[in-house]
Structure 1
Amino acid sequence: MHLADLTPPATGAAAAAHELAAAYLSPTLLNHSVRSWLWAEAFAIAEDRTGIDHELLYVSALLHDMGLAPAYDNVALSYEEAGGHVAVALTAGAGWAAPRRQRALDVIIRHNWPSVDPAMDVEGYLLEIATGLDISGSRADVLPSDFVAEVLAAHPRLALADEFTTCVADQATRKPSTSAHRLISNGLAAKLSHHPHERP
């Protein structure tokens, strides 16, 4: 498994998702979003998953944290739901049919679930375990170490521990009924500060 083997879908929606994420997310959160896509695709290979909508997975991964960007921070909705609606708007402009636009919303919302059944939603499952690896360090020993090193060199974590904790803690304070509060209560700050990818 090599980083060069994983290339973004050559579609307008994929290009627009990256352009939007790069415009509105910090470099730290943009790298996190790209890594989340790479981990998701790598887990799909490692687990021999088939039937994946790779364009849907890429768009969802690139936009899954858009609700943390000030321009898209919804006053009431959880940050993942707000980000999901950004994906709905972008994919509507790309000509996706309504059911597939709904899938983008579902996948992004489900990435913050404690777990997702792959039989129900394989893209949601892959994004959930990918972000779980990047944020909490779960399944850190599953992917090949050489591949992980390649990804981290190309898309470094930068200030992820501090920045992501600050963003989610702010959401938890302002929107205590959302998943952000659960993440903070479950020790997000400690998981990030002791993340295996944060070690030299």
Structure 2
Amino acid sequence: PRSVAGIRIPCGEVTRAAATLAREASSETLFNHVMRSYLFGCALFDRRGVPYDRELAFLSAVLHDLGLVEAYRTPDERFELDGADAAQRFLKARHVPDDRIAVVWDAIALHTDAAIAARKRPEIAMVAVGSGADFSGNGLDRIPSGTLDDILGAFPRKGFKQDAVDTMLSLCRTKPMSVLMHPFAEVGRRHLPGFPVPTVEDLVLAAPFAE
């Protein structure tokens, strides 16, 4: 759609290509999540009257979970960095200016750390806020019910909760050290017997100092 709940979806050449990439690379469940992330972020920031670059916000949101897709996973990096690097390659190939690519990279790399992202420019903060609203419901009480219904109608959840847990477990199984000191490690410890990733306490107590 060109707009959802009165929120415009950019339709330039690069944004269309980014949406196509995300749609073709992702499952329907994951693609709908990244679209809801954009729309929730816009809804929350628009209500506060915060100005932002809509194209950058869309590119950052629609590409933010590429690191969860098998084709873009590296053996060791955190999924946020895999996604940021994949988005950077995609945008460079389309001759997007480096300063704009840097915003998208930061938005994707920081989107699971809302406290840090919130201190950055709006397009970076919006991905953390929008994806966080879809992931945990944080902030949904500030979105009018009609807007929320329109967004969920356009991009339904399609079992997102269990899909998210399954994806986290997949990362924990296949590249466990990528979740070292990452919130996904909690999921691995709960569900995977013998999960090898140490806690922060384990790390500090194992430091090679005589005290």
- TM-score (norm: length of structure 1): 0.85
Pairing 1:130–2:130 present: yes
CA distance in 1, matches of 2:37, 2:173: 25
Q: Deviations over 1:12-35 (max 9, x none)?
A: 110011000111100000000100
Question: Does the aligned pair in 1 maintain the 2:87–2:105 contact within 8 Å?
Answer: yes
Quick one: structure 1 residues 117 and 33, their matched pair in 2 at CA, closer, same or farther if it must change by over 3 Å? closer
Q: CA deviation at 1:111?
A: 0.7
> What is residue 6 of structure 2 aligned with on the other side?
5
Q: Deviations over 1:19-52 (max 9, x none)?
A: 00111100000000100000011111111111x1
Question: Does the aligned pair in 1 maintain the 2:18–2:59 contact within 8 Å?
Answer: yes
Taking only the aligned residue pairs, the percentage that are identical comes to 26
CA distance in 2, matches of 1:159, 1:119: 32
> What is residue 83 of structure 1 aligned with on the other side?
83
AA matched with 1:138: N
Question: Does the aligned pair in 2 maintain the 1:173–1:181 contact within 8 Å?
Answer: no
Q: Which shifted more, 70-79 or 28-37?
A: 70-79
Matches within 5 A, 1:187-198: none
> What is residue 191 of structure 1 aligned with on the other side?
none
> What is residue 50 of structure 2 aligned with on the other side?
49
CA distance in 2, matches of 1:22, 1:180: 29
CA distance in 1, matches of 2:154, 2:90: 27
CA distance in 2, matches of 1:145, 1:163: 25
> What is residue 171 of structure 1 aligned with on the other side?
171
Gap runs ≥5 in structure 2: 189-211
Q: CA deviation at 1:179?
A: 5.1
> What is residue 142 of structure 1 aligned with on the other side?
142
Q: CA deviation at 1:80?
A: 1.3
Gap runs ≥5 in structure 1: 189-200
Query: RMSD of the TM alignment (CA)?
Result: 2.2
Q: Which shifted more, 141-150 or 168-177?
A: 168-177
- TM-score (norm: length of structure 2): 0.81
Question: Does the aligned pair in 2 maintain the 1:116–1:128 contact within 8 Å?
Answer: no
Name segments (4+ residues, structure 1) moved above 6 Å: none
Aligned length: 187
CA distance in 1, matches of 2:54, 2:138: 23
Question: Does the aligned pair in 2 maintain the 1:171–1:181 contact within 8 Å?
Answer: no
Q: Which shifted more, 165-174 or 127-136?
A: 165-174
AA matched with 1:16: A
3-state SS of the aligned residue for 1:115? helix
CA distance in 2, matches of 1:134, 1:19: 21
Pairing 1:26–2:27 present: yes
Question: Does the aligned pair in 2 maintain the 1:28–1:157 contact within 8 Å?
Answer: yes
Q: Which shifted more, 163-172 or 179-188?
A: 179-188
> What is residue 92 of structure 1 aligned with on the other side?
92
CA distance in 2, matches of 1:24, 1:119: 31
Question: Does the aligned pair in 2 maintain the 1:12–1:94 contact within 8 Å?
Answer: no
CA distance in 2, matches of 1:128, 1:10: 23
CA distance in 2, matches of 1:68, 1:90: 16
